[in-house]
Structure 1
Amino acid sequence: MDRISSSAKAPWEDESQLVHLLASHTVEAFYMMDVQGRVTYANPAAERMFGWSRQEMLGQVLHDVLHHHHPDGRPFPMDTCPLGKVMSEGRPVQAHEDLFIHRDGSFIPVYCSNAPIFTEGHIMGAALVVHDISARKRAEKSQSEQMRQFQLLTDTLPHLAWISGPDGTCEYTNRPWYEYTGLSMEESRGYGWTRAIHPEDLARVLEHWQRTRNNGEGREAELRLRRASDGAWRWFIARAQPARAADGSILQWIGSCTDIDEQRRASQERLELLRRVQAAHAAAEEANRLKDDFLATVSHELRTPLTAMLGWLQLLRSGRLSEEKRARALETVERNARSQAQVIEDLLDISRIITGKLRLEPGSLDMRNVVEAALESTRPLAETKGVKLELEAPAEPLPMWGDAGRLQQVVWNLLSNAIKFTPQGGRITVHLRPVDGSVELRVTDTGVGISPAFLPHLFERFRQQDSSSRRAHGGLGLGLAIVHHLVELHGGEVSAHSPGTGLGSSFVLHLPREPRPTPPAPRPAPSPQEDAVPPARSELTGLRLLLVEDQEDTREMLRLLLEDHGAQVRAVTSAAEALPCLREWRPDLLLSDIGLPGENGYELLQRIRALPAGEGGLTPAIALTAYARAEDRERALRAGFDMHVPKPIREEELLAVLAAATPRG
């Protein structure tokens, strides 16, 4: 009872015990001070937090113990302390961050509140609550350090890095982004980053970014970004990944842009290389097919006349033909032999074109005469087929510079081609006229025409509109390729036109009338067949001629031909037989094939030229060969042969050569 009365009579003591009890169980430091700022109470947490015991602090001015100087050592007077002004001004201080001093001299970051204590309207002191925020500050410092390290990491990446909020607006960009685009972080915030994207890519990129945010899944896209240093647009691949909270919601979007311009270029180059390889492979397959078609055509074009010749020759040998049929047989054999010769000439011309050895022998000419000569040579063929040939040309001459023989070949090929593809009753018109310093030649027919698909390939070698075994027209498909090359050698142009299949066609040539500025190649020695006149029998009478030919049929034919013209002929089959015969018999002339078994004709002539003159070392020699190219002729002359006669042999040409080469010629 006395104890209760005592408690009732001493409420302050009870309140003090209650305050102490409460303050003893808090984690915050709690101080009570009088009006001079001296400590009147400190709880256990205050002792633990700052290292001073309560007894050591009681009666001490708290500011002088815990707050007397700044971290840099400068004094901190109490009258300037925000917490001290509570005593003078009577206003509480809430949520104040500061640094208090531990007993060991270290500073502790704190979060505190100070409130005045009033008694009967007068300030009697203050109550201070202090919370140690060292852990929070360490966490903030750690976070700041992590952010610094993150920024350092992103700034050293070879990628353009960025962070966007959940709504897709940009919040952060790294230094490489700024260095490449020239857009600072502030300029890139929100949707400012879109200024770096190529206008052609922008709509696609924004749509892609919208789909990515809607789906909430990481995606990537290719786009072009402008480089600020030179304005170049380079290809990048942009990647975005969501950073999620524990509940799965998106906190941020983390992304990067990686330069793939070189890889993309290399990829495109690889694709282009693959395309070229595939095209080359297709071209090779096409070339192989064309080669097979061409070889089949060559075989056909050679075998067809050969069949006619062999057939008629068998009939001739039977002796059952009348004189009229014998004449027809000989005419047929000759016509088909000339057809074969033309096939061979075309093949040789194409060979010269491919190897770049086809040369012109230019000079002054009248183009009208060239065209008329070609017309006359093709007119019999046109009349046989029932095709009408017409010429529309000015009456006066058309002088120009060119190779008359090759230009006649051009016109002849065009006319022959037109005759071949023009049905009976059709018409071929040749227009010739001067046009602005050039000559225009137009060959128009009413024939089968040219399909649009084949027109671009018309002048290609070995190409025919129909190369199958069912084709209706013969030929190797070389004539127009030869025309194209010869016209180009003259500095001119040739083109083909046709409305389509069955609607006829026209070929147009434009040839310069003046010579090209480059000097023409030196004119070689005249071909022996030019202006050749078969000699009379008496001119070869008594001529001693040594013939070297390994092919029996050719050897016998030549022997009979030469003996028929009065020559004395000894025929042998090899160089081994020829040399002793020459030294013993001493012929006036040597006629030797080049392709011989054992030693060839070049080697034979080399051995003959090594002999003394008295043993036949200076005997005139004529090369007889199926190697008929211009370079073959030049090689024969360089080897020491006086003349060169190509196979197949024409009688008048051979006799003209013999007449020119004989010592009596």
Structure 2
Amino acid sequence: MPSSLDSFWNPPWVRAARHLIFARYGFALGCTLAAIFAWNGIATPLSDFTPYQVLLPFVALAAWFGGTGPGLLCTIFCAMWALAHSDGELISLPHEIEFALFFPVGAFIAALCGSLGRARALADETAHHLAQSQKRYQSIVETASEGIWTIDKDLNTTFANARMAELLGTTPDAMLGRPLTDWMFFEDREILAKNLADGKLAVSHQAELRYRRANGEEIWFLVSATPLPTKNEEFEGTLALHTDISARRAQDAALRASYQRFETATRAVNGYIYEVNAKKGEIYRSTGFRDVLGYDPATLSGDIRWWLNQIHPDDRAAFNAKAEEIQNQVSHGDTVQFTNEYRVLHADGTYRTLLDRGLVERGDGGAFHGLIGSVSDVTLQREMETALRQSEANFRLLADSMPQIVWAGRPSGVPDYLNRRWYEYSGQSAGEVGFHNWKAMVHPDDLMSSLEKWEHCVATGETFRTEQRLRDKAGKYRWFLCRAAPAFDPESGAILRWFGTATDIDDQKRAADTQSFLAEIGVLLGNSLDLQVTLEQVTRLAVPHLGDWCFVALKNALDHPEMVAAAHLEPEKIAAFWKRHRKYGFDPQASKGFPYVIRTGQSELIEAVDDAMWREALPGQSDYQSEVGQGGHRSTLVVPLEVRGHILGAIGFSYAESGRNFSRDDLPLAQEIARRAAIAIENARLYQRLQDADARKDEFLAMLAHELRNPLAAISGASTLLDMMLDGNSKIETATPRAILTRQTAQLARLVDDLMDVSRITRGKIELRLQNVDFGAILRSALDGVRPLILARRHDLRIEVPPQPIMVEADPTRLGQIVSNLATNAAKYTDSGGKITVSLETSDSEAIFRVKDNGTGLKSEMLSGIWDLFVQSDRTLDRAQGGLGIGLTLVKSLTEMHGGRVEAHSEGVGLGCEFVVALPLIRSATEAAPDAKIETLKIAEREETLGDAARNFTDNRGATKNEARETQATKNHRSEISSPTSGATKNQVLVVDDNRDAASMLCAWLESQGYDVQVANDGAHGLALACGWQPDVALLDVGMPGMDGYAVARQLRALPEGAAMRLIAITGYGQPGDKNQALQAGFDFHLTKPVEFQQLKQVLES
């Protein structure tokens, strides 16, 4: 602080003016003027004053105020003025000496005052700066954010600013005089004592110290201490600057803990932390570096080239490219975060794969500072990933090589992987996965049930299993067994993945369905042996399993297809089909459809039917084509019905309104159905044949009984008459019964011979005595035996035989049997007065024998069956044809035994028949007379022969001409027969029987009993006699030519005259059904031949 005197002599305005140059020099000029005035006012009057005495004070005043320059200026001006105003007067020598000294003394005074002024100004300035500094220091100390604490050498507080007191939770005044240890923890005092002993407090130092606040809490400070020395440089005390670092310490602790955790974590994951300081060229690596690569980071330099040399050669180019990319980004000022992966050489010589993640550090202004990052050893992970990829590749290879569809999906069940089989099957693009793709492939009928089941399994984690149809890329559906199972987290139990497969079970499914379907067919077909029922069941079962339509066509006798069954779910469509088919039928030569399949035996599959196919299959049937087209047949499949290489017909299937199409996959099932259907049809036919054979057997037995009873009746009657003649009760000539016995016994022998021949043939026991014979001679001889029958039937027989021998190797007896059987068959099945032609001719290698008639003819279906045993073309009760129905069987068997063949031809019923026998020809015999004429023999209708034959000759069962005379002789003795017995109630008896011997014997016996008897040998004649004669009793044979006994009985009952007539059936048919039929026809009694006369007598007398 300036003193009061200094303030007086050096007030502020003076100090301020001194800093102005014009003020200092102006003051010097003023001092000069004042000195001149003083000189003039003092020195002149007072001559005693010298210039030194008058002028020097003003020079000193100018120098005091202005300094040396202004003082010198004042000195010079005063001296000049003094010289200029001396008027040339010399002053005394002493005065001259003083004047001479004035100038140097003034200059000295000016210089001295200037120096003193400068010293004073400097002192003022220094004092001012010191005051300002003190003010600034006090301001800094009081406003500093750090605490300032000074202590003496005894550690007592000499000063503490407010911030220091605030940090310690007290006041500065409370701190003054208190020792430092009052604010230290006990354990820290030892550290302070050690520092005092080491003399650290006497030197500047910095440390982090912990103090105790007034409330007992700890607080950390960064203490920067400076000793306060005395003038003699001795330690007087310490000034300490305290910065609160408690928060930083906490952050550092947290950072250290975090760093430790990160270090531990990086070491746990086999990694380390690094930092690259670009300015210092240093690289810091954490201790994990040793664990990862086996090197001690402390021994490594920061040379980046060492690191580059450790990188695998194959990875260096990529590493350098990444580094260059980072540099480019840094140069553009981008924020750079990077990830890089490369292999580095381990200390043990192996390579480790490192995953490097880093961040570019920038300094102030965004300048590149360095890199910081972390490195993880991912060698094991990459090896596992490689193994996983290999495993995945193996899995995909395995999955792609599997025939099943394999898929995997997320926990939600949405697929995210599908194997190659899926894309091959579905036709979808590779990599196109998703739940919607699967839904689009499922058959609409299976979708909802599959979705419900799948959603349930996804929600519950249950295994999924279902069978559903999936559409392939061609739009066709196939059955798949779909299964899926979840993979669970072993800890949480949550679903991690779904793995599933879809196995094509279409073949198994269809096979199972087919087997079930075929089993059903087998059961139904096995339960029926009726042909028509079998056909209907076959077609009905096939719809709709194998088509909207099913048809069956069988071959007829001409090997042409004949539609026999059709099925559809709608009956009206079936009716419309039959209407169309009856209108058009089949074209046997059609190139498609049933005619083609039956003709070739080849299956026909038409996957898509078009109009051109209809025109080809149905030429000229445009309206039918239109109707069929409207029916919507879009795909057809026709398969032959074949059994043991024989084509029975064909079965056809058609898709129409369902919109489906057949494929070759449907062919095996259709063929299997056809095979089973063919077997069923064949079985039905065989069963029908068996039934027919059984019926024929029954009929044969009935015929056999009838055929046997007819001769037996005659024999029985003749035997009875002989007994009566021996007893003398009859006048009949003995020759008549004997002749009847002879004829009927011969007839029985022929019947037995035929039966034996058939038996031997069927058992393969017959033997042929082959020799070279003339076929023509055998033919003539055989026809001689048939002539009586032909004459009796009044047939016109024409024989066309070459005169030269036609030699064949044959058994003469059996060859004659063939000829006679065919000629007899023609005679029997040709109405009276018919024409029969027998011819013999030769071909290149065969002798051909033909028998042709214009008789009853044959139905087409009978042409193949007439050769069977016991078959006749028209089995009726009239027995006009006679025989057992085994003649043609013998012909066929004997012909084939001779190495020949036999055929039957007929244009139909009523159009006659032609039978052809061809036998191997002996060539040498045919070459003798190739131009010989054919001998023609015609049996003329001579009146005498014809009349006798017509009246007296029947078939091989009838009486001869002489026998007729014997019958007439018998009638001549009627007058000698006694009258009827007293018990007889009926006197007139009509006998109607086509067996003349039987009728003759019965007539003789009745007449012997006193009855009036009339005889008729056919039904029409008998009916006429009954109406005209009106007998009391009529004995009627049932099986007669033309009108049989049943017809006669019914007509008699319908007439008034026949209502009361007793009708008795006498027949060879003795089955219970025959008796019932007789009663229904109107007979009163039924007697079976041979009739016992005593039994007949009882009936007549009843």
Q: TM-score range by the shorter chain?
A: 0.5 to 0.7
How does the TM-score come out when normalised to structure 2? 0.34
SS in 2 for 1:475: coil
Q: CA deviation at 1:139?
A: 6.4
Equivalences for residues 12-23 of structure 1 within 5 A: none
Q: Counterpart in 1 of 2:693? A: 290
Q: CA deviation at 1:59?
A: 7.6
Q: Work out the CA distance in 2 between the residues paired with 1:210 and 1:456.
A: 58
Decide which of 368, 373, 395 is 1:128's aligned counterpart: 373
Q: Work out the CA distance in 2 between the residues paired with 1:269 and 1:63.
A: 84
Q: Counterpart in 1 of 2:829? A: 421
Q: Counterpart in 2 of 1:148? A: 394
Q: Does 1:506 align with 2:922?
A: no
The amino acid across from 1:416 in the alignment is T
Equivalences for residues 231-380 of structure 1 within 5 A: 240-242=480-482, 254-256=502-504, 283=686, 286-287=689-690, 290=693, 292-293=697-698, 294-319=700-725, 323=732, 327-380=735-788
Q: Work out the CA distance in 1 between the residues paired with 2:834 and 2:407.
A: 81
Q: Work out the CA distance in 1 between the residues paired with 2:693 and 2:385.
A: 82
Q: CA deviation at 1:448?
A: 2.5
Q: Counterpart in 2 of 1:405? A: 813
Q: Work out the CA distance in 2 between the residues paired with 1:444 and 1:3.
A: 153
Q: CA deviation at 1:512?
A: 2.1
Q: Counterpart in 2 of 1:438? A: 846
Compared CA separation, residues 147 and 387, structure 1 to 2 (3 A): farther
The number of residue pairs the alignment matches comes to: 461
SS in 2 for 1:414: helix
Compared CA separation, residues 480 and 245, structure 1 to 2 (3 A): same
Q: Work out the CA distance in 1 between the residues paired with 2:879 and 2:498.
A: 75
Q: Work out the CA distance in 1 between the residues paired with 2:886 and 2:906.
A: 19
SS in 2 for 1:357: coil
Q: Work out the CA distance in 2 between the residues paired with 1:144 and 1:122.
A: 46
Decide which of 395, 410, 420 is 1:172's aligned counterpart: 420
How does the TM-score come out when normalised to structure 1? 0.52
The C-alpha deviation readout for 1:59-118, integer Å capped at 9, x for no partner, is 877997899355xxx898799665655677667685544456899999776654445445
SS in 2 for 1:433: strand
The amino acid across from 1:446 in the alignment is N
The amino acid across from 1:125 in the alignment is G
Q: Give unmatched runs, 5+ long, in structure 2.
A: 1-143, 148-162, 164-242, 331-335, 409-413, 429-439, 451-466, 487-494, 516-667, 925-1102
Q: Work out the CA distance in 1 between the residues paired with 2:276 and 2:308.
A: 13
SS in 1 for 2:784: helix
Q: Work out the CA distance in 1 between the residues paired with 2:730 and 2:387.
A: 123
SS in 1 for 2:830: coil
Equivalences for residues 611-650 of structure 1 within 5 A: none
Contact 2:359 2:373 in 1 (8 A): yes
The C-alpha deviation readout for 1:13-38, integer Å capped at 9, x for no partner, is 99999999799789887643234985
Q: Counterpart in 2 of 1:621? A: none
Compared CA separation, residues 14 and 149, structure 1 to 2 (3 A): closer
Q: Work out the CA distance in 1 between the residues paired with 2:867 and 2:744.
A: 26
Compared CA separation, residues 510 and 77, structure 1 to 2 (3 A): closer
Contact 1:309 1:336 in 2 (8 A): yes
Q: Does 1:489 align with 2:737?
A: no
Q: Work out the CA distance in 2 between the residues paired with 1:257 and 1:301.
A: 68
Q: Does 1:33 align with 2:273?
A: no
Contact 1:50 1:101 in 2 (8 A): no
The C-alpha deviation readout for 1:486-528, integer Å capped at 9, x for no partner, is 2122222110112233332211112222189xxxxxxxxxxxx
Q: Give unmatched runs, 5+ long, in structure 1.
A: 174-184, 193-208, 224-236, 517-665
Q: Work out the CA distance in 1 between the residues paired with 2:900 and 2:397.
A: 71
Contact 2:293 2:345 in 1 (8 A): no
Q: CA deviation at 1:483?
A: 1.0
Compared CA separation, residues 512 and 60, structure 1 to 2 (3 A): same
The percentage of counterpart residues that share the same residue type is 24
Compared CA separation, residues 20 and 122, structure 1 to 2 (3 A): farther
Q: Counterpart in 2 of 1:459? A: 867
SS in 2 for 1:456: coil
Q: Counterpart in 2 of 1:602? A: none
The amino acid across from 1:365 in the alignment is V
Q: Counterpart in 2 of 1:565? A: none
Compared CA separation, residues 79 and 110, structure 1 to 2 (3 A): closer
Instruction: Give the structure, 1 or 2, with the largest relative contact order (CA under 8 Å, sep 6 or more).
Output: 1
Q: Counterpart in 1 of 2:796? A: 388
Contact 1:242 1:250 in 2 (8 A): no
Q: CA deviation at 1:238?
A: 7.8
Contact 2:867 2:889 in 1 (8 A): yes
Q: CA deviation at 1:49?
A: 9.5
Q: Counterpart in 2 of 1:68? A: 310
Q: Counterpart in 2 of 1:2? A: 145
Contact 1:308 1:332 in 2 (8 A): yes
Q: CA deviation at 1:423?
A: 2.5
Worse-matched range after superposition: 362-371 or 387-396: 387-396
Contact 1:414 1:443 in 2 (8 A): yes
Contact 2:442 2:468 in 1 (8 A): no
Worse-matched range after superposition: 18-27 or 406-415: 18-27
SS in 2 for 1:508: strand
Q: Work out the CA distance in 2 between the residues paired with 1:471 and 1:93.
A: 122
Q: Work out the CA distance in 1 between the residues paired with 2:395 and 2:828.
A: 87
Q: Work out the CA distance in 2 between the residues paired with 1:328 and 1:170.
A: 108
The amino acid across from 2:762 in the alignment is I
Worse-matched range after superposition: 339-348 or 126-135: 126-135
Q: Counterpart in 2 of 1:570? A: none
Compared CA separation, residues 258 and 239, structure 1 to 2 (3 A): closer
The C-alpha deviation readout for 1:393-441, integer Å capped at 9, x for no partner, is 3444434432222111101111122222223333322222222232222
- Say what the alpha-carbon RMSD is for the aligned residues: 6.0
SS in 1 for 2:861: coil
The amino acid across from 2:822 in the alignment is L
Contact 1:37 1:125 in 2 (8 A): no
Q: Which has the higher helix share?
A: 2
Q: CA deviation at 1:189?
A: 8.3
